[in-house]
Chains A and B, each alone.
Chain A
Amino acid sequence: MGLKRDKDLVERVARLEQEVADLRRHNLRLAELADLVQELLVPMAQRDQERVDAAIAAFQDSL
């Protein structure tokens, strides 16, 4: 019984570690999306073609 419970716990810990790692990785990707939207959404919503081009160029220059 004890051995099986130990094995189950070891597996659960490994799984939880994996899940925590996956969640942590979302931080960077969420930051990327927020940054992209913040920089490009307004010129795109304004439908000002020149400003859209300028915003994309400025954004890519800083990557």
Chain B
Amino acid sequence: MLDLRVLRVDADGVGLVALGSDRVVDVLFDDRRIWSFWVRRDTSRGGTAGGLAGGLAGGLARSITWPPAMRPHLVGTGSVTLREHVSGVDVWSGEVAFTDDERRVEFVDRQGHPISLDKSDRFSPVFAERTAADLDPLLDAMSELLDVLAAYGVAAFPAYGTLLGAVREGDFLGHDSDADLGYVSSHSSPVDVVRESFRLQRAVAERGWATYRYSGLAFRVEVVEADGATRFLDVFGGFLDGGRLYLMGEVGHPFEREWLLPLGTTTLRGREYPAPARPEKLLEVMYGPSWQVPDPAFKFETPRQVTELLNQWFRGTGHARRDWERRAAQRRRRPVPKGSSALAKQLRRAEAPGTLVLDVGAGRGRDALWLARQGHPTVAYDFAPRGLQKAQRTAARRDLPLDVRALNLDEWRWVLSEGARVSRLPEGPRAMLARHVLDATDEFGRQSLGRLASMTLRGGGRLYVQTWTGRGRGGAGLVPMEVGRVQKLLERHGGTVLDVAEAPGGGSDGGKGSVGKVVAQWE
């Protein structure tokens, strides 16, 4: 290969010289694909050129570093191959020592399943590693889900990578890790298609599947494969309006109804599934005219206007949720920290014994667990409730009055239904703890917290708020929230502010940033 020369593969990444047209290279460890990149699009000029790279080659050198998700795995020595994806030609192969450790580089998850990087740069057990028996439950779930949707008048079909794999290869794409369904609603206004998506999720949840909403027009269904691995089946809604097809989350293109309906069929792993009447038309708007050429490092180039439109219509239902879920997942095996925050202690001192405490944004449940230990019936809420599993187990073991619930402040349906639920609980004193919530959510979430407080605390309940006010260093994911803004927000929702305090950084609360505390009461 004269026009693609690899100069180095080392602990930092790959250095190469790439002339001619851009193309995809797979990176294999022990002959198993782990990652793929485009030799021009994804690399940058320069970088240390080792080995033979002098003169001309050195001047043309390009480089790419290992993706952050891959780095924790690069311990010890590995047998690396760089292979041109389309031609299958090996362009480099050799042993690479990433660290001095006496071990082989391994890419497996906790259950020992081989994992690779998917298109979102996340590690998951990709389809190429799965056996037919492993995938049967997913194929069954797809059929079953299509039936459920059909019962609600929605003609769904495999979409995105799943449609591409079926049409091009009759199989799942080897480097893909989830399955997608899409449908085009008979409605043509965003309000109606969102309401329909809510109804569909309800129908799916009623049949016992675990579901999770991404946006107003997309949710996922969790399917457990034969060996216990969880696979996600995403359901993307769409609609036709004014000669355009809008399909969550990447499509907003001119499209003919006849290209969709009546649905035809396609074959996936020997099973027949519905497909758009002209699947190639849909694949072209999803993946561009070169959809027939395999590209494991594909990145959507959705026009900015389409993304903005879909954002404004349907998104905004989970501010920074993925970041919080990632943090929750990373910490979920660690013990819940001991003790409590100063704010929880303040609440404990001021409130009557037995006061019901609603801890919103409970994180790992340190305060909630501590309050339950003090005898307060406590509800710990978080929109990444996985982080609360440990606290929940501890509470169950010790018979502590702790209830763990999911709550998403970026959806009115969560907030208002929870407000209604709590208002129906037996009467008694109530308090709410919101430590680093207003500074972790967006404006919609802040208003929601005020609304939830006004629904659940009326009759004399108090809210204890703590935020980072902007000086010094705030915690991960926090934005400054001055006490004056907090005060105004709570007053707007009918609260009477009882106490405002601000401490400079370096206080006893652990953070080095400045901290504001506001206590408000609802009559």
Contact = CB atoms under 8 A, between A and B. Distances in A.
B421 A62 contact: no
Interface in A8-40: 20-21, 24-25, 27-36, 40
Contact of A62 (B205, B216, B312, B420): B205
A61 interface: yes
A60 interface: yes
Contacts, number: 80
Contacts of B308: 21
Given A24-B309, A52-B424, A29 B412 contact: yes
Given A25-B316, A40-B417, A31 B191 contact: yes
Q: What does DSSP make chain A's interface, helix, strand, loop or mixed?
A: helix
Nearest to B195: A31
Interface residues of A, number: 25
By CB atoms of chain A within 10 A, which of B190, B198, B199, B313 has the most? Answer: B198
B384 to A, nearest CB: 14
Interface string B382-424: 0000000000000000000000001010011110111011001
Contacts of B190: 24, 27-28, 31
Nearest to B421: A56
Contacts of B326: none
Contacts of B414: 60, 63
A40 B420 contact: yes
B213 interface: yes
A48 interface: no
Contacts of B312: 20-21, 24-25
A36 B412 contact: yes
A49 to B, nearest CB: 8
B420 A35 contact: no
Given A27-B191, A34-B191, A56 B216 contact: no
Nearest to B314: A28
B411 A32 contact: yes
Given A56-B420, A62-B211, A63-B213, A32 B412 contact: yes
Contacts of B521: none
Contacts of B309: 24
A29 B190 CA distance: 11
Contacts of A27: 189-191, 194, 216, 313-314
Contacts of A60: 414, 417-418, 421
By CB atoms of chain B within 10 A, which of A30, A36, A63 has the most? Answer: A63
A12 B191 CA distance: 27
Given A25-B312, A34-B195, A35-B198, 13 more contacts: A21-B312, A25-B316, A28-B314, A31-B194, A32-B194, A35-B195, A36-B413, A52-B424, A53-B424, A56-B424, A61-B205, A62-B202, A63-B417
